[in-house]
């Protein structure tokens, strides 16, 4: 089938079939699917898969895409040494 090969989330290697199976198991919101599959949590932070996931959730719920609540997307973080915070921006620029 085509859905077996259609990649939804490249970062987490999830296919359309994977997403549809999660929906069949009862995961009905973007947040639920994101938490169980990590869809949208890779390096792209959902830039490539968010729209497709929203379409599938909307289809499963019989709603328009505008009615679907979008998940919370947080930017990736970077470790910062405490000394950098205490010393100011000059030290931080040297470490980058």
CATH number at residue 18: 1.10.10.1100
- The structural domain count of the chain equals 1
Asked if residue 45 has pLDDT above 70, the reply is: yes
Which of 14-28, 38-52, 69-83 is modeled with the greatest confidence?
Answer: 14-28
State the pLDDT at residue 38: 94
State the pLDDT at residue 56: 93
State whether residue 47 is helix, strand or coil. coil
Across 60-67, average pLDDT: 91
Measuring CA to CA, how many Å separate 96 from each of 77, 80, 81? 14, 10, 12
Domain of 58, in residue numbers: 2-95
> Hey, CA dihedral for 19, 69, 29, 61, is it positive or negative?
negative
């Amino acid at each position: 089938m085509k859905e077996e090969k259609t990649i939804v989330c490249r970062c987490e290697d999830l296919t359309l079939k994977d997403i549809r199976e999660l929906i069949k198991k009862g995961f009905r919101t973007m947040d639920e699917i994101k938490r169980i599959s990590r869809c949208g949590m890779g390096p792209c932070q959902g830039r490539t898969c968010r729209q497709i996931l929203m379409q599938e959730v909307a289809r499963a719920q019989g709603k328009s895409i505008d009615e679907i609540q979008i998940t919370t997307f947080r930017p990736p973080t970077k470790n910062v040494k405490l000394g950098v915070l205490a010393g100011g921006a000059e030290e931080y620029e040297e470490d980058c």
